[in-house]
Structure 1
């Protein structure tokens, strides 16, 4: 453009291109905004959603004007109820931790796929499912401040308004790079809270540039490699059954520990693992979901790490069991 600015100081250097994942997706400022935009277009009367879910998602469903119908899951992360969808219903299914691709695919024939929305915010590398919509959240996989993608059979228009808050949400990511994870922790939590309850907006130019410059095949390969190594270490002790051959490049290695306290043990060693989703503790009748909240330890297996870090996690589990007086057979498997 003739009037485009030239010269002066350099902007943040990013690779040029349009290499966003999932070609054809509509990009919003967050996964929640993508869900809200979808619900505003299809206007369901009711949305079935699991109890074991972030409250920001259920808040988004209510914000859309739909009635929320919660359902239970079992310890295998499968639907535990006989759900019968009626006219005006949608079913939200979560691909938990990016390890339930095969199970989610099986639901496409069990239910009317036109009524299914798959939450892949924990499964960026899973292909879109053959259903009403699949939703992604790249910031759970790569170092970007925001962004959410919607792949849908519906024509969901992009909003006219574009998000302009990315540069503020980028600061905690820069602080972690420059200093430590602790340095930007509070600011990162605050930045993500600001995304809650927002009306849908187009993803920012900053986030688009950052996402377009990433090497997704290498990222996926590193995650798959690390996951496989953790599975070799932890499979015997993991109460959650996982078929490594069915898993693409997950968000983490979900270790359903046979005892409590391992998360706290890791955090004391500066291995930071989240607790998904503590708000479930306040819900009545959710004993299985509360058990998952308390016992699933999401071990990091992302592209920042390699074999040495995976062995560090294995050694931490060995040390924890020994500190609890339960060395078990794990020492023989990890050396």
Structure 2
């Protein structure tokens, strides 16, 4: 088998028994094609009951989470998320004029800064939407005060699609198109099959499956609204091997944090992995504008670490908030890998800085 770390998945970890994953949430639930499809639905669900003119979003987020608000004619304003003293600082004005507050627990690590903001905003009667994509398998997956919660499962494993919305509120008709976007799903599944064959050592050109993944994303960008989640994907979600996903990620992330905490050229955005935390990635701050050179060096070692997130014209950034986008790198820690692979990541990072 080829040894690469990171990039797109090629397998889905499954168990024979149905997991009843989200019964503990005790909320109304709906399945959707993708995270942005789910967000678009819940925005429509809210607007059917009350007007939403202005949404308050974090400056640090994916453009695909801004798009559904704009597509529903909602003005977006941002609260600052930035690095201060090598820590993530969230600056929310609880008194800002808005109808909806959007929050994220980044990378699966519980951030107590948010608790006080959410309580104050809830007291003012404003709606709270929580993006639980990163925190879905952390014990505190979301705040109980959240009116609506959604999450994308695709970030966690090799599912071609799949996202959910939860709410104590009534969720109206789930989607205008009850089937998933068939062309998109088929494109991603074809890409997974090719990547699996590549990883298993067959003479497959990487460009073949990378092109398919890229084409699928372009399809979703153009046509993401109103799609449900096919029955086959729902079955896969309900049989996910969550025990393996949690165990491997916790162990891998804890190892990375332990081995890199003394590396003077980087800072861990979160210093340790608590027992009830399940990270989606381990984010680091790379000092002295070395993020892009480090990432390029890791790619040379067949280690593919993503950047959260690409800056788009939809983002409204200042010098402080832009620095977070330009200096952070997300280290891979997922269930495909063991401690041996994490050692390769640590050694490559140390080697890069020793060359300087």
TM-score, length-normalised on structure 1?
Answer: 0.84
Q: How does 1:1-335 map to 2 (within 5 A)?
A: 18-19=18-19, 21-23=21-23, 24=27, 25-43=29-47, 44-75=52-83, 76-86=87-97, 89-112=99-122, 115-126=127-138, 127-130=141-144, 131-157=146-172, 158-159=174-175, 161-165=178-182, 166-180=185-199, 183-196=208-221, 197-237=223-263, 238-245=267-274, 248-259=277-288, 260=290, 261-280=293-312, 285-324=317-356
| Per-residue CA distance 1:67-113 (angstroms, 9 max, x = gap) | 11122212133322424254x61111122222234444444323217
Judging changes above 3 Å, is the alpha-carbon distance between structure 1 residues 27 and 101 closer, same or farther for their aligned structure 2 residues?
A: farther
Judging changes above 3 Å, is the alpha-carbon distance between structure 1 residues 20 and 280 closer, same or farther for their aligned structure 2 residues?
A: farther
SS at match of 1:74: strand
Root mean square deviation, CA, Å: 2.5
Aligned partners of 1:65 and 1:16: how far apart in 2?
44
Structure 1: gaps of 5 or more residues:
1-13, 325-335
Q: Please report how far the alpha carbon of residue 239 of structure 1 lies from its aligned counterpart in structure 2 after TM superposition.
A: 4.8
SS at match of 2:237: helix
Instruction: Give the paired residue count.
Output: 311
Q: Which stretches of structure 1, 4 residues or longer, exceed 6 Å deviation after superposition?
A: none
Partner of 2:10: none
Structure 2: gaps of 5 or more residues:
1-13, 200-205
Aligned partners of 1:184 and 1:20: how far apart in 2?
33
Q: Which has the higher contact order (CA 8 A, sep 6+)?
A: 2
Q: Is the 1:122–1:250 contact (alpha carbons within 8 Å) kept by the matching residues of 2?
A: yes
Aligned partners of 1:85 and 1:154: how far apart in 2?
25
SS at match of 1:170: helix
Aligned partners of 2:43 and 2:153: how far apart in 1?
21
Judging changes above 3 Å, is the alpha-carbon distance between structure 1 residues 46 and 18 closer, same or farther for their aligned structure 2 residues?
A: farther
Q: Is the 1:99–1:247 contact (alpha carbons within 8 Å) kept by the matching residues of 2?
A: no
| Per-residue CA distance 1:135-180 (angstroms, 9 max, x = gap) | 1111101110111111112222312522142233211112111114
Aligned partners of 2:116 and 2:348: how far apart in 1?
36
